[in-house]
Structure 1
Amino acid sequence: MEASFTRHITAMDDESENRRQIDVVALGIVTAAILMFVATGSQIGPPVVNSLLYGGTGPDNLILNAFLLNIAIIIFGWSRYRQLCEEIQLRKAAEKQARKMAETDPLTGFLNRRSFNQCVDHLITKADEEGQIVVLVMVDLDNFKQVNDFNGHNAGDLLLRECARRIASGLPKRSLLGRIGGDEFSAAFAFDKNRDDTIALIASGLIETISQSMQINGISMDVTASMGLSRSDSPGAGSQHPDAHALLEMADIAMYHAKRQGRNGYFWFEDMMADEMRFRTELEQGIRHGIPNGEFVPYYEQQIDLQTGELTGFEMLARWDSPQFGIVSPEVFIPVAEDIGAIGDLSESVIRQALEDAKAWDPRLTLAVNVSPLQLRDPWFAQKLLRLLVEANFPPNRLEIEITESCLHQNVAQARSLITSLKNQGIKISLDDFGTGYSSLAQLRSLPFDRIKIDRSFVTSLHESKDNAAIVHAIAMLGKGLQLPVTVEGIETGEVLDHLLQYGPIKGQGYFYGRPRPARELAEWLNDPQRSGKAARGKEPAGPEALAQALHTPAKADSTGSMAEPAEVPGKHVRNA
């Protein structure tokens, strides 16, 4: 579009030049006509006066006709000259508007990317001459897409304008302001190199200003911002005088680093961030190629009836069997897949495989699948899941969908609609990680859950923390009072199991009963006649920890030959797909 604007402006420049030439010609004609008018007027003037006063002979007809023709030419020429002047003014106004459209963002009035870069280059040159440096700021709204999708594009546009106004008000008056993308803004200004503290105040103030609640069309909206900063004297630029493109790239890397560090903050660019960004790019490319290549596979963790020791089913956990990185932890690839919009395809791929695997199990065994909060915002998620069930010919009553508490906080109405749609098809719904989110008892009663799951963060340290033991007791009693079955995660020792047995008929899962297995190993284990009785007291060794920090190190096999469970973090949606 910018190229077309440029061509349009060039054509208008050429046409304006032609108009200016015509303008000079028209003015010349009028001037010549006026001179001829004076000359002919001097010739016919005395005879006309003599004829009127004394009745003498009038002027020569040829000269009289030339005189009248001059008058007509003057009138016509002057009229045409004025029309041309007005037309040129209109052309200039249109040209000015076209330039503005080519150089600025029509929604916010900020500079667009191309013109912003050009202006920053001029600013850097001027700052060098005056002994100053230029700081470039990249601002990205953290949760704008969700707000925009939920409230509509009109409200989203108004929100962007308000954010642009706040950004402009929080920066020095002579700052260059640009809109780089949909919800990405940029700014640049010169400052004294000895006043870094000023930049820190400006950045923190900008973060605080943007995060304040906004009223758009009578609706309260909240967004936060992640910011990256770079400076023209940065050694990371690779040269003494980095240009606007280099500064923008460095600030962009720092901004994404801020997002990975929890968002709603800012960071200065550092060299190591570029390495992280390259690795992030490798992960994104690997995920995009890995989904159609079947690199994401399901692992299965046992779910046990704690009272009888009977195996009741499995929870499916996603793993990335990457040819480049080995077995990658979900805490690494799930957030990346969510950011690049690939979580839906990834999850469907793994669930499809899990449904095929589960068809070979004993019909009494259930399959539990956790879904990302982003998937629950998809209004077609229920239909997509039902399509997978039909394709696999899998009984809906054997499938259990686990929804985290954070999903309820984001959109209770949408969660209720989704739960109702799935339950109408016979699918069971569990409230996962209960106690870690924001759900209230009123929501728990109003939403038709079939089960609640106690998060592992309360269970693994149950004996070391009286508070965690009290929370587990309270949730177990709550489930009993509401007649909601309870599943406990994170059972890793016999002491924890003995403590949980006091709560009656509940289910449990954890390393005490064995590590999650891939489908092939699980099939061998299920067909092993020696398996009987192992689950009751967790005879299988737990195995070593895997992939604790090193992302490039494949998980080690435990003593049973299974791949060890990657390191996990609270929040099942980070672990599972």
Structure 2
Amino acid sequence: MRSWIHSAPSPDLILTNALLLNIALILLGWNRLKALNSELETRRRSEEEARKLADLDHLTGCYNRRSFTAALGHLLTDGVGNERALAAIALDLDNFKQVNDLNGHQAGDEVLRSTAARILKLLPEGALLARLGGDEFVCVVPYHPQVPDRIDQLATRIIEQVASPVLHEGSAVDVTMSVGIASSIQIEDTNLGELSAQRLMHKADIAMYHAKKQGKNRFYWFEMPMENELRFRNELEAGIRRGIALGEFKPYYEQQVDLESGQLVGFEMLARWESPELGLVGPDIFIPIAEEIGVIGELSERLIAQAFEDAKEWDSEISLSVNISPVQMRDPWFAQKLLKLLVKHRFPANRLDIEITESCLHENIGMVRSMITSLRNQGVQVSLDDFGTGYSSLSQLRSLPFDRLKIDRSFISELKESDNRGKLVDAIISMGDGLKLPITAEGVENEAVLEALKGMGKLKGQGYHYGRPEPADKVIERLAAQDRLAKTSLENVTEVDFKAADEKRGGGKKAG
């Protein structure tokens, strides 16, 4: 500076340039440091957001399965003892699929968000809530082992709050919730981190599924018999799948008798499971499970095919009745599949009677009407089974082309015990006469019931009074003793026979 004001000699040029260069480098380095700090802060925020997204459910803001399992593992390792326990509460919305189907997925998302918010509002300090996926939630709540009532009260409040309608675009969406609870004191070793957490969540899940089985919209604490029942259920599922593949399911036959003449007029095919491990298993055990796991169609078709082969050895005047599951009636191709089986096994359609229950009429009556019409046009008889236990109306009976009504055994078996039952059965028979629908009475268990029915009109009956359901070989022995076996072979039956049977009963249309 003194040199610039001419009061001193000029500085060394090299030193001056070096000084200026150092200053420039310092400024450049400072700017670079600021840029690096900004970049690191941005990356830190991004990583924090990524961790947050990885740990939280994007729809509800709750923990997700991975992060909740880890957090519960830490709580079990560090936070339980004689004075403090943890309750895992599994929560699952009932029939949530219907919410999406009827109202759309946006309404379903709104229900999930509202459910999470309502649960969070009720949870005490120190509790955690996670959405495990779909409509399934789980929370963990600390409590004193000597005061489990606190968890009961919390579960009750959660069920009540969730049951309040959720408003979406001006419409109220109603849902209920099933709840299962398991306590950390039911875990043998709580020091296994995530493994202990998974075991506790699994027990809560078992209790929740038990609540659903008991009617939904309620809660249950986990108990050991529930786990044994679930293990048995899983074994049954595996056994059913294996049994279908190995042909362990067999058709049994129950006699159908004309009450007036006492003559055998038909058999109803009933499924039995001849299990090597469990012995002879009734349909009340395996049919509901087969329906739930989606194998009822395959199981039924195999049994029907075998029944066709068995019935071809009977007298041609003896009919074959087959029960059809409501699940099968949801298949729009069911009628075509059945007619294909008839043709494949060369079984006359006019000897077949399909029995459907009243519950089928309320799921999709249009499709049911189309199926019934298709089957009847080919000569198949169609009966309404378990009449009196459902909600079918007179208008449905008039509009749907049924061939027969079957009165449920619950009315028939108590016929002599209650005058009201007798009047009700008599009213059903009178209604059948008015609609020109013949009647079959199920559950004829003794001579007293038989005599009561004989005085009510011309009926068919079936029940243990005539004998227990029998396998095919016993049926052959019975029919041989009565000289009721087929006189001629049915091996030459062709599709022409189906048309002839159709013309005989007045039909003329082909199946749709």
Answer yes or no: same fold by TM over 0.5: yes
Please state if 1:195 is matched with 2:147.
yes
| Partner SS, residue 250 of structure 1 | helix
Please state if 1:138 is matched with 2:96.
no
Q: Which amino acid aligns with 1:179?
A: R
Q: Which residue of 1 aligns with 2:42?
A: 90
Q: Which amino acid aligns with 1:197?
A: D
> For residues 451 and 214 of structure 1, what CA distance do their matches in structure 2 show?
45
Displacement of 1:435: 1.6
| Partner SS, residue 517 of structure 1 | coil
Preserved CA contact (<8 Å) 1:138 1:184: yes
Displacement of 1:274: 2.9
> For residues 244 and 493 of structure 1, what CA distance do their matches in structure 2 show?
57
Going from structure 1 to structure 2, the CA distance change for 1:96 and 1:464 (only over 3 Å counts) comes to: same
> For residues 173 and 372 of structure 2, what CA distance do their matches in structure 1 show?
26
Going from structure 1 to structure 2, the CA distance change for 1:483 and 1:348 (only over 3 Å counts) comes to: same
Going from structure 1 to structure 2, the CA distance change for 1:269 and 1:148 (only over 3 Å counts) comes to: same
Q: Which residue of 1 aligns with 2:491?
A: none
Which of 386, 399, 402 is residue 433 of structure 1 equivalent to?
386
Displacement of 1:334: 2.0
Going from structure 1 to structure 2, the CA distance change for 1:152 and 1:434 (only over 3 Å counts) comes to: farther
Moved more, 314-323 or 77-86: 77-86
> For residues 382 and 220 of structure 1, what CA distance do their matches in structure 2 show?
38
Moved more, 213-222 or 194-203: 213-222
> For residues 120 and 329 of structure 2, what CA distance do their matches in structure 1 show?
36
Q: Which residue of 1 aligns with 2:245?
A: 292
1:221-300 matches, cutoff 5 A: 223-234=175-186, 237-239=187-189, 243-300=196-253
Displacement of 1:294: 0.7
- Computed over aligned residues only, the root mean square deviation of the Cα atoms, in angstroms, reads 3.3
Preserved CA contact (<8 Å) 1:232 1:241: no
Going from structure 1 to structure 2, the CA distance change for 1:372 and 1:473 (only over 3 Å counts) comes to: same
1:3-14 matches, cutoff 5 A: none
Preserved CA contact (<8 Å) 1:103 1:111: yes
> For residues 57 and 245 of structure 1, what CA distance do their matches in structure 2 show?
85
Displacement of 1:305: 2.8
Q: Which amino acid aligns with 1:286?
A: G
Q: Which residue of 1 aligns with 2:479?
A: 526
Which of 439, 451, 454 is residue 486 of structure 1 equivalent to?
439
> For residues 439 and 283 of structure 1, what CA distance do their matches in structure 2 show?
34
Preserved CA contact (<8 Å) 2:315 2:484: no
Q: Which residue of 1 aligns with 2:138?
A: 186
Preserved CA contact (<8 Å) 2:88 2:201: yes
Going from structure 1 to structure 2, the CA distance change for 1:269 and 1:501 (only over 3 Å counts) comes to: same
Q: Which amino acid aligns with 2:354?
A: I
Displacement of 1:531: 7.1
Preserved CA contact (<8 Å) 2:269 2:323: yes
| Partner SS, residue 285 of structure 1 | helix
Structure 2 unmatched runs, 5+: 486-512
Displacement of 1:55: 9.0
Preserved CA contact (<8 Å) 2:77 2:190: no
Q: Which residue of 2 aligns with 1:20?
A: none
Q: Which residue of 2 aligns with 1:466?
A: 419
Moved more, 445-454 or 463-472: 445-454
Displacement of 1:158: 5.1
Going from structure 1 to structure 2, the CA distance change for 1:345 and 1:531 (only over 3 Å counts) comes to: closer
Preserved CA contact (<8 Å) 1:489 1:508: yes
Q: Which amino acid aligns with 1:115?
A: S
Q: Which residue of 1 aligns with 2:497?
A: none
Going from structure 1 to structure 2, the CA distance change for 1:435 and 1:196 (only over 3 Å counts) comes to: same
Which of 286, 296, 313 is residue 360 of structure 1 equivalent to?
313
Displacement of 1:82: 4.0
> For residues 28 and 260 of structure 2, what CA distance do their matches in structure 1 show?
107
Please state if 1:500 is matched with 2:462.
no
1:90-109 matches, cutoff 5 A: 90-109=42-61
When normalised by structure 2's length, the TM-score is: 0.82
Displacement of 1:388: 3.1
Preserved CA contact (<8 Å) 1:132 1:190: yes
Q: Which residue of 1 aligns with 2:464?
A: 511
Q: Deviations over 1:445-484 (max 9, x none)?
A: 3433333221110110011012222221222222222223
Q: Which residue of 1 aligns with 2:402?
A: 449
Moved more, 67-76 or 341-350: 67-76
Preserved CA contact (<8 Å) 2:265 2:317: yes
Going from structure 1 to structure 2, the CA distance change for 1:75 and 1:395 (only over 3 Å counts) comes to: farther
Q: Deviations over 1:375-426 (max 9, x none)?
A: 3334444444344334333344433332222233344455445445544554
Displacement of 1:494: 2.4
Moved more, 79-88 or 509-518: 79-88
Going from structure 1 to structure 2, the CA distance change for 1:221 and 1:381 (only over 3 Å counts) comes to: farther
> For residues 100 and 311 of structure 2, what CA distance do their matches in structure 1 show?
39
Which of 294, 303, 319 is residue 341 of structure 1 equivalent to?
294
Identity of aligned residues (%): 53
Q: Which residue of 1 aligns with 2:429?
A: 476
When normalised by structure 1's length, the TM-score is: 0.73
Structure 1 unmatched runs, 5+: 1-45, 533-577
Q: Which amino acid aligns with 1:367?
A: L
> For residues 347 and 60 of structure 2, what CA distance do their matches in structure 1 show?
52
Q: Which residue of 2 aligns with 1:303?
A: 256
Please state if 1:389 is matched with 2:389.
no
| Partner SS, residue 138 of structure 1 | strand
Displacement of 1:137: 1.5
> For residues 171 and 283 of structure 2, what CA distance do their matches in structure 1 show?
36
Displacement of 1:367: 2.5
Q: Which residue of 1 aligns with 2:508?
A: none
Q: Deviations over 1:226-246 (max 9, x none)?
A: 332111223xx3458783223
Q: Which residue of 2 aligns with 1:540?
A: none
Going from structure 1 to structure 2, the CA distance change for 1:341 and 1:57 (only over 3 Å counts) comes to: farther
> For residues 416 and 220 of structure 1, what CA distance do their matches in structure 2 show?
32
Moved more, 182-191 or 258-267: 258-267
Going from structure 1 to structure 2, the CA distance change for 1:270 and 1:94 (only over 3 Å counts) comes to: same
Displacement of 1:515: 1.4
> For residues 341 and 30 of structure 2, what CA distance do their matches in structure 1 show?
80
Going from structure 1 to structure 2, the CA distance change for 1:164 and 1:399 (only over 3 Å counts) comes to: farther
Preserved CA contact (<8 Å) 1:404 1:432: yes
Matched residue count = 482
